Amino acid sequence: MPWNNQGGGGGGGPWGPPPGNNGPGNPWGRPQGGGNGGGGGGPQPPDLEDLLRRSQDRLRRAMPGGFGSGRGVALVVGVLGLIWLASGIYRVEADEQGVVMRFGQWTRTEQPGLRYRLPSPIETVLLPKVTRVNRIEVGYRSSVGGGRTDRDVPDESLMLTGDENIIDIDFTVFWVIKDAGNFLFKIREPEVTVKKAAESAMREVIGRTDLQPALTEARQQIETSTRQLLQAMLDEYQAGIEITQVQLQKADPPQPVIDAFNDVQRARADRERARNEAEAYRNDIIPRARGEAERLVQEASAYREQVVSLAQGDADRFRKVYEAYALNKDVTAKRMYLETMEEILRGRNKIIVEGAAQNVVPYLPLNQLAPNATPVPQQQAPRQAPASPSSNQGGARSGTQTQPLSSLPQNSSQNSSMSGQ
C-alpha cells in the first residue's frame, strides 16, 4: 500500500514510518522540516484521511475475510451485546422508587441509588416520585385565577350529622406515595380512589358527631378521626398511599338556613353568658353564706359553753352557800340578807325612817327624790315648838343627810309611803 507522503522519501512498511522520516518527536511519521518540501513551521495537524486508512488496514489484518466472515460477525455481535447489557444500568433518585417489571409483571421495588436491571425488553423500570405531596379537594374546587372565590360542590359537601342535621363541609386531603409498586398495580385511578374513600370516611365521622360540636370544638377531632379511618381503608385496599393530613376548610350550616342558625348561636351564647354570670354569683355568695353559717355556729357554741359554765358556777356557788348555811344558819341568813339589800339599794336615792317616829306622819319629798325631777317649791310649814329629844330620833335621813319631819294633816291624799324598817 503506497503512502501519500509529502516531502518524504521512499516507502516503507504499511505500519511503520516511511524511510528517511525517523526524526524524533514526530508521532505521525512526517518530516520535522515542514511539509511540501518546505522548511520551518510548527507541528502539523493529523491527517484524518491517513488515520482512516490505517484503521481500515488494521481491521483487514484482524479480519482477513472482512465483516462477512464468522470472526467479524462474532465481533460485531459481541460489541452489540456489551452495549445492550450496559443499557440495564440506571439510577434511582432520592425522591423516587424504582418499580422493576419483567415482561410487564411487577417483580421488585428498588430504593434510591445506582441499580441494574436486565436490559429491555426483558425488564423495564418506572420511577414515580414518592416524596411529592399530592392534594385532593372534596366539596369544593379552588379557583384557578386570582380574585375569584372557590366553587362549591354541594353533592360532595352536604352531609348528615349524628343528630339528623345537615352540615356543609369542605376539606382537603394531602397524601404521598408510600409503596410505588402497590400504588401502580394494586389500584386503578389512585386520585379518584383517594377522593371517594376520603368522602366516605368523612361522612362516617360526621354521622357520629352532632351538629354543634362539629361546628365548634370538634374540628380537630374530626380531622384526626377522618385521617385514621381513611388510612385504614387505603391500607386494606393495599393502595400504597400514606395520608399525611386532612384539613377542614369550612364547616357551616347549609346556606338557606345560615341566618336562622346564627340567631340560634347568638341565643346560645347569651344563655352561656347568663349561666357564667350565675355561676360567678353562686361562687361568690355560697362561700360567704357558708362562712356566715360557720360564724353563727361558732358563736352559738361559745354561748352554749358560756351558759353552761355560768350555770355550773352558780350551782357550785349555791352548793357552797348551802354548805355554809347548814353549818350556821343565823350568820348565813343575815349575810344573805345584807348582800341582797346591798345589791338592791346600791346607786339609788334612799330615805331611812327610824322606828321611833311613830306618832307623826313624815313628809317625804318624793318629787324631788325622783331622778331628773324638777324641784317643787314647798309651802312654808307652820312654826311649831321644838320637838322633844325623843321625837328627834324619828327624823328622816336621805342618803347620808337627816331632815326634820314636819307634821302634816292626816289626809289620806297627802300620806306618803314609808320605806325601810
Q: 367 pLDDT band (50/70/90 cuts)?
A: confident
What is the domain-level CATH number for residue 205?
3.30.479.30
Write down the residue that cell numbers 320605806 correspond to: 419
110 and 157 in a common domain: no
In a domain, 62, yes or no: no
Radius of gyration of the chain (CA): 67
Percentage of the chain surpassing pLDDT 70?
69
Q: 245 pLDDT band (50/70/90 cuts)?
A: very high
Range of the domain at 171: 134-254
Given a contact cutoff of 8 angstroms between Cβ atoms, the answer to whether 127 and 93 are in contact is yes
178 and 274 in a common domain: no
Given a contact cutoff of 8 angstroms between Cβ atoms, the answer to whether 207 and 161 are in contact is yes
In a domain, 154, yes or no: yes
Over residues 45-72, mean pLDDT: 70
154 and 107 in a common domain: no
* Residue 158 vs residue 104, higher pLDDT: 158
Helix (H) or strand (E) holding 50: helix 48-62
249 and 189 in a common domain: yes
In a domain, 82, yes or no: no
143 and 95 in a common domain: no
320 and 286 in a common domain: yes
Residue at which a domain ends, from 289, 310, 337: 337
Say whether pLDDT at 209 is over 50.
yes
Alpha-carbon distance of 242 to 234, in angstroms, equals 8
145 and 208 in a common domain: yes
Alpha-carbon distance of 123 to 118, in angstroms, equals 5
In a domain, 369, yes or no: no
pLDDT of amino acid 264 = 83
Residue at which a domain ends, from 217, 237, 254: 254
Q: Which segment of 88-97, 128-137, 399-408 scores lowest on mean pLDDT? A: 399-408
Domain count, the chain: 3
* Residue 350 vs residue 86, higher pLDDT: 86
Q: Which residues contact 195 (CB under 8 A, 6 or more apart)?
A: 136, 138, 173
pLDDT of amino acid 344 = 87
Q: What is the pTM of this model?
A: 0.49
Over residues 28-47, mean pLDDT: 53
Instruction: Write the pLDDT tens digit of every residue in 57-68.
Output: 776 776 665 555
CA torsion sign, 252 to 255 to 257 to 259?
A: positive
pLDDT of amino acid 215 = 86
245 and 176 in a common domain: yes
In a domain, 79, yes or no: no
